[in-house]
Amino acid sequence: MPVLKVSNIQDGKIIIDKTELCNFENFSIENTLNPGEVIFTLSGSLGKVGINLTSQKFLFTTDLIAFDFNKLLSITLYMYYYLLNYSKEIIHKLKKGGIIPHIYKSDLKKFKIKLPSLEIQEEIVEMLDKFSSKLGVVDILKKEFKLRRQQYEYYRRLLVSPVDYLNKKFKENYKEIIDIYDRKSLNLSVKRNLNEQQEQAVEFSLDKDILIIAGAGTGKTKTLVERYKHLIESGIAKQDILVTTFTRQAKREIEERISEDMVEREKREIEVYTNHQFCRNIILDY
């Protein structure tokens, strides 16, 4: 996921062409900027403001703070314009430190702002939008949004195309096994002590991907491991099976359970990745 720094916030905009990518596991969920949220700098260049008008989520460093003012666009834009115009006042009242000045998040969250009625907010936003449009600010933001969408579509195609190709080759190579596969003749729930939902996931059609989403301690890892072993027993080669998961810990646990009864050569054929590793490898390879 792209990471925003103070240097990415310029002239009321988020500059996205120089962002770095990072594994979201290394960041707190509080350090996520969602679409429509406003971001504010807390140290270094104090009081810089940006708004996320893209459909992309961003991670951000600890010298930034994100605000989700309201689902109503008018309120968000009003607060965006407010911060743009009154950031110096906020800095003057809340700034701490000497050589490297900073604003504490706790102080900023306590900062009181008098809000006019929603109708007046909408009128102010409309007037400022027109003024900004004359200066070209709105046009620039719209252009950035369009470019971001194009970038998103490019990487989406980059990630999906190889997977679609591999799925097609898989179905061609294992057509005979897939055709004779009869999931109803199996009874894995007895052999492997699976509940009904786990059994359905493990015995699911050989030529379909499965996605397992469940809470902690519900048997996600067990289900993935048993699905893997079931594919092997059905005649699928290890190098043609891909397992991805969200965390490195889950990845290690899956690898350990799958390889319990394997020799060293067989272990090297196991393909288990975190989602981040898998996407990164595709981008680097293609």
Q: Which residues are annotated as part of the binding site? A: 214-221
Annotated binding site for ATP: 214-221
- What does the alpha-carbon distance between residue 78 and residue 123 come to, in Å, rounded to a whole number? 10
Instruction: Give the three-class secondary structure for 31.
Output: helix
CB 3 within 8 A of CB 22: yes
- What does the alpha-carbon distance between residue 224 and residue 178 come to, in Å, rounded to a whole number? 19
- What does the alpha-carbon distance between residue 48 and residue 39 come to, in Å, rounded to a whole number? 8
Residue type, 102: H
- What does the alpha-carbon distance between residue 228 and residue 113 come to, in Å, rounded to a whole number? 56
Instruction: Give the three-class secondary structure for 42.
Output: coil
Closest by CA position to 57, among listed 33, 91, 81, 27? 33
Q: What is the Cβ-side half-sphere exposure of residue 123, based on CA atoms within 13 angstroms?
A: 5
Both tokens of residue 131? Answer: 């003024």
Instruction: Find the helix packing angle between 137-173 and 118-135, rounded to 10°.
Output: 90
Helix extents (H) in 6-136: 73-94, 105-110, 118-135
- What does the alpha-carbon distance between residue 24 and residue 30 come to, in Å, rounded to a whole number? 11
E-strand spans in 240-286?
Answer: 243-245, 272-274
CB 46 within 8 A of CB 60: no
